[in-house]
Every structure is written in structure tokens, then in C-alpha cells.
Structure 1
């Protein structure tokens, strides 16, 4: 597992969002200035376009940027990541700012959100991030299976799993940021997760000393056949269709 943080950081600056807490300088390291700019974009364009509520602006750092960035503690080095239902880029953008070793796809079905995400990625120079418009069930065959699927505030765990797990490669994992309902959701989703190929589930807490309370992550690890029989057939069909279209093109 990669080291957590500990890089030199530039001077604070910017306006729009609330001032960055000291922890942010440590977490984002030499990308701190970019994190400040992203917070400003969320506080300004994000609110104007309806991507984030105005009441969230005063707590952007603690509740959103830092809460998402600490997910990096449980993401392995050098893997591919798909952030399902990325919305305004949470957790995908903070994770990308902290971890340039990752190859991240921000998957989002709504045009106004993908437009915003594309602007952010270009403005911040996140060359290791790709924005893709579509629903998870639509991109099988278009998006190569990934090592890790991330998600935050997208759907209850059982429904989220039907979208996220089929995008995983064998022995990959889904990391879902959840709140106080994590344990209850995990219990309720146990049968569905098993059918989808989950072999291990757990709840982990990240961000000690950075966010209070710590961020809660539901980790779902899959075996050789992620998505189960139902989704394996769907993925194979999507792949065949994609190949046929490429040949015709």
C-alpha cells in the first residue's frame, strides 16, 4: 500500500470556498493549489449549475474534498479506477489529485455534469483522468474492466453493486463511501453481493487525524467472475457488439 501523505506544499490562496484547513495542505501535497481551485469551482460553477447545494459550500473541505481524498488510503498502487456516478467529481477528482499513479475514469450519465468534469480535468491538468458519459450498464464492452470501482452517495449498496461490480476485472474491488448506514446496508445487501460474485466484504475507516468523523468505506472484493452469470453474459454480448461496430467502422 502506498504511503499516505507527506509532500511539500505551496502557499494557500484562492477565494470562493471557505479557507482550506491545515490538513488539506498535508493531504494534497504539491497538488494543494489545484485542490483549492477545485473547491472554488465547486463553490461557484458547481452551485450555479446545480451540481452541489449552496449549503454545502461552507463545509466543502471537511465533508467533501478531504472526506473523499482519504479514500486513497485503501486504493492499491498503479491500478485502474472507475468512479461510478461521479457527479461533481466526488470522490474521483480528490482521489486523482492525491494519487497520480492511478488511471481514473469518471463515469457520469448527465451531460451537464460531464461537461463540468471535463472542464475541471482540463483546467487542473489531470492527464491520468478520463471523463466518460454513460450509465454503468451501458459501458460494459466500451470500458475495459478495472481494478477498483469507487462511488459516493450514488445509491443503496445492493443497487450500486449491480452497476459497479460488473465493471470489475477478476479479483477487483468496489469501494463505496458510506455514512452511518454502512453496516445496515452491508447486511441487507449480503445476498445480492454474493450473487454478483463478492467473496469478501468489510467496513473500513480512513482519514484518522484528517477528518472527524473518519470516512466510512464499504469494501467489496470479488472473485474470478465479478458480476455473476447474469452480467457475464451481458458483458460478452456488449463486447461482441462493440467489436462488430469497430469492424464496420
Structure 2
């Protein structure tokens, strides 16, 4: 099906949108005609991506902000209002990259708080600010992880923050339904990103061995689901979590207990 201009006139904000999964989502919406507001916290990244999209003939605006800061979030949404004229789709992708495993007894309060500040608090703040500006037919899409329901060793803060996002998705879906706003989530599994691609080929092979489809996913795989959830084809879906993991989670027993989760959901956060 040709979706070339499916989102023409649609205003989309993607948090953590300057790299990895977030970037793929930004590029997918831009390619289908949306005006995309690119959020990121790493200096210059959101601006660079937005400029590249504009050069390619797409509509894009950079809105850098730390989504864990309520004042910055409010300013970000005010800028989206001013430059895009409103918001129709919010993708809450920002998260703290999981760059290494931390056994629970070594996990610090600061590490725990940072995960929740960006992933859970950021999702709440951005949704709360956006929903007050949205009208009927709008959509919120949250990025979770397979770790929300199937725990990973030495990833308690990450997994717990993603579990919170899934609970929030269901609760917000109920409360926002009377306003015509749908709220859904995506739970990616192993995704080939910059970290994955830097691994030794033998390590990559071990990582994908338990995946029924036989390979890691890509940001484009996640972006396609995000586009579906934002589209009219998903008009009767709300409160749902769509798993994008190549079949990893449906097995009774995985071949390895140490499959890596994607650490870059929201990689710019």
C-alpha cells in the first residue's frame, strides 16, 4: 500500500527522536508527509536531523529539551504550538540508554531515579502537556520494552521503568478516551542499533540465536508500528501494547537467558 502522504498535515512530536529508534520514527513520519518536531537532549543532534530533513524536502522542527524537567517540557510544547500550530501525535521515545548491566545490589538510587525521571516521569510530563493541546482523533504512542514483562538480569531500574510506562499507557488510555485521544505502546525486543552493530560478530550471533525470525529488528520495524498506531487504521485501538521482537517472547523457553534488550529506545535522552 502506498502511504506516501498518509500523514500530510499531521503534527507529530517525537521525544528522544535524534538517534536510533527515535530517529527511525521521525524519518518514517516525515517521509509520509507529517510535520515532525524532533526532540533530543544531546546538543545539536535534534537540530542537525531537522535540518537534514528540511534539506530533503520534508517538514521538520527541532525542539531540544530534557523531558524530565516540567518547565522544559512546557516550553517544548509551547514551541510546538507556535511552530506547528498544534499537535496530533506524540511519540514518547525518550529514555536513558542502558549502556551496561548493574546487578541489583550495586544499583544506586541515582541510577534508579535517572531511569524513572526520563522514561516514566518524562512520559507523564510530555503526555500531560500534549494531551491538553490535543483534539479528538489524536494519538499518544509510548515506547516500552520486552523487559516490562520479561525481566532481564541486572536491569531492574530499566525494566521497572518500562513496566511503569505500560501501566501508564493503560490508565491514560481510559482517562483520555472521552477526549477522543488514543494511547498505545510499543515494546521492542532486540534492535540493531549503533551499540549492537559495534559488537563482535560472534556476540551478535549469540544475541540473535534465540529469536525465531533469526535476526535482530531495526528501527524501521518499530517505526512502521508507530505509524500504524498513529493512523486511521488503528482508530479503534487504545490501551494496547504491541510487541516487536521477532517472536522472542512467545517461546516457552529461550535458548539463552542473557538476551540483550535494546538500550537505545529514546537513545538521545
Please indicate the TM-score interval, normalised by the length of the shorter structure. Answer: 0.3 to 0.5
Name the structure where strand makes up a greater proportion of residues: 1
* TM-score normalized by the length of structure 1: 0.43
With CA pairs under 8 Å and 6+ residues apart, which has the higher RCO, 1 or 2?
2
